[in-house]
Amino acid sequence: ACRELGNPQDNLNIIHIAGTNGKGSTVSYLKHILLEQGYSVGTFTSPYIVNFNERITENHNDITDDDLLNYINKVYTLYFKVLDKYDEIITFFELVTLISFMYFNDKKLDYIIYEVGLGGKLDATNVVKPIITGITSISFDHMATLGNTIEEIALNKLGIVKVGIPLVTSVINDELTDLFVEYAKKFNSELTFIESKNIEVNEFSSNTTFKYKGIEYTISMLGTHQVVNASLAIEIINQLNKLKKTDVSLSNIRMGLFNTFWPGRLEMFGNVVIDGAHNVGGMEALKDSVKTLFKGKYIKALYTSMADKEYFDIIQVLESFVDEIHFTEFDYPRCETADNLYDVSNHPKKFKHYDAITALNELKKLKKNEILLVAGSLYFISLIRKNLK
């Protein structure tokens, strides 16, 4: 399909980001740092939280409806051409990826940051020729597609590594260190790890101040895990500066990090907190953040899950740090039922609601010392966020 379009993806300066959790936030940090320096920047992310157009952006703007329609018509023609010529179906995600290639090629932007859709090795975005790659975190998710062991999942994500192209990773897992080192060596890829010893957190609050390699930064996104995502973005920029692919000053790295915002990630609406944690790694990160930020508060959770997720394990993590759990469901084909979620929980204070918005409206009437934590799926968070806005 790319060849039929003249390989527009080959003309782009691409930063390629994979990982189980933290991809979207890392993309957003990188984007804001590069924008702060005065570069023009495109991003490709998924899924969307507010509207579909946010999956493809130019600087601070989502792709317009008019532009989107123009490229939809182009891939509509391409879809039938490829079907007729090669007897191959182009999937929906592949069509959106192709739209982004054409759009960014026409816009002639300085840098494009691509977030992997699923895994890495066989992801549609993996036809790109990046200037650098990044891998955020690795934990269990999409096992039916990516494999049942942490090594199999890691190998799938390592599939984005290209010959001679540097890799920066914030995967801090002793089990995987050797695998990363061997894989990078095989591809002659210079590997940089974000090491815990180089990160020092000074203060967690509405703004978090931390040091990476002895230099102080402040981020306004909540969550202990955001310090690691921000450190990954800093190191990617450091490596690009070293390679003379970018020329970004320290003051613009600092300002870009501080200005970064990413909807649906530990986002607060009064005493209601929404977070897209939808796998074990995401829920563990959420647990750390909630225990740090809301010490002494009474935590109510409103939770649902997609039926294909490992929700039994996710609920066990959630149960360990909330005071009561409310299970719900909403009108989405893959959504698990409130009954099934309720049945796997062992929490002493568990409840079920068959309509998510009714549950939200009841539960958001909170006392001063109470927090309502809404989590479980980015599709769910999208629905809840629209209602809260």
Q: pLDDT per residue over 85-131, tens digit each?
A: 999 999 999 999 999 999 999 999 999 999 999 889 999 999 999 99
b (16+ CB within 10 A) / e for 312-351:
eebbbbbbebbebbbbbbbebeebbebeebbeebebeebb
Position 140 scores a pLDDT of 64
263/55 Cα distance (integer angstroms) = 13
Helix (H, G, I), strand (E, B) or coil at 90: coil
Instruction: Please indicate whether residue 236 or residue 225 has the higher confidence score (pLDDT).
Output: 236
Query: Are the beta carbons of 245 and 13 closer than 8 angstroms?
Result: yes
- What's this model's pTM, rounded to 2 decimal places? 0.85
Determine the Cα–Cα distance for residues 247 and 249; give it in Å rounded to an integer.
7
User: Mean per-residue pLDDT for 245-264?
Assistant: 94
Could you tell me where the DSSP H helices lie in the chain? 23-36, 65-86, 92-107, 143-146, 150-158, 174-186, 224-242, 250-258, 280-293, 311-319, 338-344, 356-363, 378-388
Q: Report d(CA 104, CA 297) in Å as an integer.
A: 46
Average pLDDT over residues 26-50: 95
| 96-100, 145-149, 283-287, 344-348: least confidently modelled range | 145-149
- Per-residue confidence band for 383, with pLDDT thresholds at 50, 70 and 90: very high
pLDDT of 147 over the 70 cut:
no
Burial class (CB in 10 A: 0-12, 13-18, 19+), 98: buried
What confidence tier does 202 reach under pLDDT thresholds 50, 70, 90?
confident
Q: Residue 186 has which token pair?
A: 């095989």
Residue (of 290, 132, 276) closest to 223 by Cα position: 290
Percent of the chain topping pLDDT 70: 97
| Residue 49: predicted pLDDT | 83
**Alpha carbon of 69 to those of 55, 56, 65, 124, 213: distances in Å?**
14, 13, 6, 21, 46
- In angstroms, the CA 177 to CA 191 distance is 11
Residues in the chain: 389
C-beta neighbour count of 352 within 10 angstroms: 18
Query: What pLDDT, on a 0 to 100 scale, did the predictor assign at position 320?
Result: 96
pLDDT by residue (tens digit) across 154-198? 999 999 999 999 999 999 888 899 999 999 999 999 999 999 999
Tens-digit pLDDT profile for residues 53-82: 999 999 999 999 999 999 999 999 999 999
Predicted confidence (pLDDT) at residue 143 exceeds the cutoff of 60: no
Query: 312-328, pLDDT tens digit by residue?
Result: 999 999 999 999 999 99
Does pLDDT of 145 surpass 70?
no
Paired strand residues for 115: 17
Listing DSSP states for 238-305 in one string gives HHHHHTTS----HHHHHHHHHT---TTSSEEETTEEEE---SHHHHHHHHHHHHHHSTTPEEEEEE--
Write down the residue that tokens 């157009």 correspond to: 53
Q: What is the model's pLDDT at position 201?
A: 87
Q: Can you give the pLDDT at residue 317?
A: 95
Strand 61-62 to strand 56-58: parallel, antiparallel, or no bridges (unpaired)?
antiparallel
pLDDT in tens, 350-374: 999 999 999 999 999 999 999 999 9
- Would you call the peptide bond into 348 cis, given omega within 30 degrees of 0 as the criterion? no
18 CB-side CA count, 13 A: 28
Separation CA 326–CA 307 (nearest Å): 17
Beta bridge partners of 303: 327, 375
